[in-house]
Structure formats: structure tokens, C-alpha cells
Amino acid sequence: MMNSFATKAARAAFIDGRLAELYPETPIPLDHRDAYTLLVAVLLSAQCTDKRVNLVTPQLWALADNPNDMRGVPVAEIQAVIRPCGLSPQKAKAISGLSQLLVENHGGQVPRTFEELEALPGVGHKTASVVMSQVFGVPAFPVDTHIHRLAQRWKLTEGSNVVQTERDLKRLFPEEHWNQLHLRMIFYGREHCTARGCDGTVCGMCRELFPERKRAIKVRK
């Protein structure tokens, strides 16, 4: 019998529909008030859980919650507050530096292009993609560790890196679904198809897509 999920396109269509049923609402997991606070929160979330970031940011916003005030806060003070998020020396320096540049070059506003965002200290393509998609509504597909893992387990990519995975996912899914779908994949990856709780044979989606699969899938970083 022909596997109805034999092609990437068939798997993508099924995944898109199933995740939309599971997660009709897609709230942003990072607490924020505006574009600036989301930008800083996403920067802090590198190699740190969103949960921990949400515990730390209220103390950071008490110091400053806008670029004009933040650029006046000593880097050491920023670092002391954000230490639980890890990589605090680099992140504190980046927060201070990007705040200064936002005031100097962008009138204190978060810019609305990938190029301008990625020119800011500590802001890579993934961080820029989150801000562009979730604040400005521009279609983007930020790939984090959860999405990279799921895309491999669900055979949507041969991606040996997140750049390739992002490219493959953008080809497979309708552009108007990207902004919600990337969050839905993160939610599913955290709750069901986890790094340790599933190996490609355990969670509902893996079993449904690959009923014949017997061996664990080794995920490439």
C-alpha cells in the first residue's frame, strides 16, 4: 500500500493542518510590551529558556524599558540583572550597544527591515526574523532548535544546519502560514516531540507520519 505521506509536500500539508487544529492560538512565548522589549527578550533567549527570560525581564525593564533610558544604564548593571540567562557579558554589551544605535540611527525606534535589524549588535537572522514576523507581520520562518529537530524527524529537510532547514520549510509551507506555523512547531516540539521524550518514533505526529519507522532518528545539529 502506498504511504499517503510519501512526499514532503503531503507531509507538510498534513502537519500544517494538524498543528493549526492543536494550536489555533499562537501567543508569543516571550513577555514583552513593544518591539524594543521583544527584541531584547529574543536576544536574551539565546541558549536560554523563554521561561527564564520571562522571570528576568521584569527586573530589566525596571532599570530601563526603552532604548533611550537603557543606553544610560552601565553595562555592569545590565549584566548583573540578566546573569541567569547565560552569556551575560556578551548579551549585556549587545543590549547597551543596540540601544545606543537605535537612538543614534533610528530615532529610538526598532527598524522594520532585516538588514537594519541584523546590523545591530547581538541580533542575528533568527532574532531579526522573530521581530519582523511577530511585531511587523512580515512573513518569516525563524528556525530554533525545536523546529530544526522536528523538520528532520518529519523528513521535511536534509538540513545539516538551520539555514538549510529554513530554506526548505519556506519552500514547503504557504508564506501566509509561516508566522503562526513556526510558533506552532515550537509549541509541539516543547510539549510532544521533545529532544529526549521522542526519538522520531514516540510522539503522535511521528507515529502518524511514519507508522513503519522502527529506528530512532539521529538529529543533526
Interval 12-69: pLDDT, tens: 999 999 999 999 999 999 999 999 999 999 999 999 999 999 999 999 999 999 999 9
- For the cut 50, the answer to whether the pLDDT of residue 1 exceeds it is no
The pLDDT-based confidence of 2 (bands split at 50, 70, 90) is very low
> What's the mean pLDDT in 81-101?
98
214 in catalytic set: no
> What's the mean pLDDT in 82-108?
98
144 in catalytic set: yes
Would you state the cell numbers that stand for residue 194, as one nine-digit string?
Answer: 521533545
CA angle (14 as vertex; 13, 20 as ends), nearest 5: 95
Of the residues 65, 93, 144, 155, only one is catalytic, namely 144
Cell numbers 523546529 label which residue?
147
DSSP string, 43-66: HHTTTS-HHHHHHHHHHHHHH-SS
The pLDDT of residue 3 is: 65
Q: Please give the mean pLDDT across all residues of the chain.
A: 96
Of the residues 126, 155, 168, 221, only one is catalytic, namely 126
Interval 151-182: pLDDT, tens: 999 999 997 899 999 999 999 999 999 999 99
- For the cut 80, the answer to whether the pLDDT of residue 221 exceeds it is no
Q: Coil, strand or helix: which one is 27?
A: coil
- For the cut 90, the answer to whether the pLDDT of residue 127 exceeds it is yes
Domains 8-26+141-209 and 35-134 share a fold: no
Query: Domain extents for the chain?
Result: 8-26+141-209, 35-134
> What's the mean pLDDT in 179-198?
97
pTM of the model: 0.93
Closest CA to 95 of 75, 111, 124: 75
Topology (CATH level 3) of domain 35-134: Endonuclease III; domain 1 (1.10.340)
Contacts of 16 (CB under 8 A, 6+ apart): 173, 174, 177, 181
Q: Among the CATH numbers 3.40.50.300, 1.10.1670.10, 2.60.40.3470, 1.10.10.10, which is that of 8-26+141-209?
A: 1.10.1670.10
The pLDDT of residue 159 is: 77
